[in-house]
Amino acid sequence: MTDLDEFLTAIGHPLRRQIVETVYQNPGISYSQILTRVNISSGKLNFHLQKLEPFLSQVNGEYQISNEGLKLYRTWKMLEGRLSGTQVTGTDIPGLFFGRRTLAFLIDVLLILSLLFIAADFTSAFTIVPAWWLGGFPVPLFLTRIIDMFIIYPDLTVVLIRAFILAILWMYFTLLEGYRGQSLGKMILGIRIVDVSGARIAQQPAAVRALTKVLILPFDILVGLIKSRKAGFLRFFGQYTRSWVVRN
C-alpha cells in the first residue's frame, strides 16, 4: 500500500479521524479511555486501530501519535482549512515560525547579556563609546563589551565567563519556558512552546530544549530541517521532546 493509500484510508472514515484526534489531544491515553471517548464497541475500535497502525504508537498500553501520525494530522488539518475556505500557509504550521523564533531568541540573549554586563559594571550603561563594529557609531559601553567577549581570543578567564553566560541562559530558558512556555522574547512576539497535544510543556523537556538551544542550536536546526520538518518541527530536539512553537 502506498503512502497516499494509507493516508486516505486513515482520514477517510470519521471514526478514524475521531480516534486520531482523541489520541492527539490526550497523549498516553489507554485503550479503555479511547473506547469510552469514541463510544464504539471494542470490535470496531480494534478494526480502526489496525488501520491506524502507522500513525499511532503504543507502549505499555498507552497510545500516542507517532511521527507519521503527526504528518498525517498536520496534512489533514491543512486540507480541512483549505476546503473550508480558511487560508492555511506554512507559517500556520506548529513548529515553524522561523522569523518570530529567531527574533525572540535574539531579544532574550541580548536582554540577559545586557543585564549581566550592566550588573558587572553599572556605569557601562551610561558610558558612551564609539562602536568599531558599527563604524564608530556611539553606543553604551556594555554593548561593545558584549561583542568583544565573543570575538576575543578565549583564554581561561574568557572561557569561564562564556560558560557562566551559557549556564545563565540555560537556566533562564528552562525556568521561563518550563513554567509558562514562554521566554520574554516569545511573550513579546506572541508565540509559546507546547507539547504536541497542546498542553503546557513539562520542565524536563523544557530543560532539554534550552540546553540544546544554548549549546548546539545551528546543528539542531540543520538536523531538524533534514529529519524533522515534514513532521512539523523546526528543530530536531523539538521532535525529540515532542514539543513545538505555536501562536498565542
pLDDT of residue 95: 59
Q: Is residue 80 part of a domain?
A: yes
Domain shared by 118 and 18, yes or no: no
Q: Is the pLDDT of residue 235 over 50?
A: yes
- Model confidence at 1, in pLDDT bands (50, 70, 90)? very low
Residue range of the domain that includes 13:
3-88
Task: Give yes or no: residues 64 and 106 share one domain.
Answer: no
The C-alpha atoms of residue 111 and residue 180 are separated, in whole angstroms, by 19
**246 near 232, Cβ under 8 Å?**
no
Distance between CA 173 and CA 169 in Å, rounded? Answer: 6
What mean pLDDT, rounded, does the chain reach? 85
Average pLDDT of span 5-30: 83
pLDDT of residue 246 exceeding 90, the answer is: no
Q: Does residue 209 fall inside a structural domain?
A: yes
In a domain, 119, yes or no: yes
Same domain as 186, residue 165: yes
- The least confident of 143-152, 164-173, 195-204 is 195-204
Higher pLDDT, 228 or 131: 131
How many whole angstroms separate alpha carbon 179 and alpha carbon 199? Answer: 12
Q: Is 93 inside a domain boundary? A: no
Query: Where is the domain boundary, 88, 121, 144?
Result: 88
In a domain, 235, yes or no: yes
Last residue of a domain, one of 88, 112, 132: 88
| Chain segment 58-95, per-residue pLDDT in tens | 888 888 888 788 778 777 776 776 676 654 444 445 55
CATH code (residue 32): 1.10.10.10
Are 103 and 134 contained in the same domain? yes
Based on the fold, state whether residues 18 and 132 are members of the same structural domain: no
Residue 181 and residue 118 share a domain: yes
Q: Do 133 and 76 share a structural domain?
A: no
Mean predicted confidence (pLDDT) in 116-145: 92
Average pLDDT over residues 43-70: 85
Residue 16 covered by a domain: yes
Full-model pTM: 0.69
Residue 246 vs residues 78, 136, 139, 234, 238: alpha-carbon distances, Å: 15, 40, 35, 12, 12
- Overall domain count for the chain: 2
From 67, 88, 109, the end of a domain falls on 88
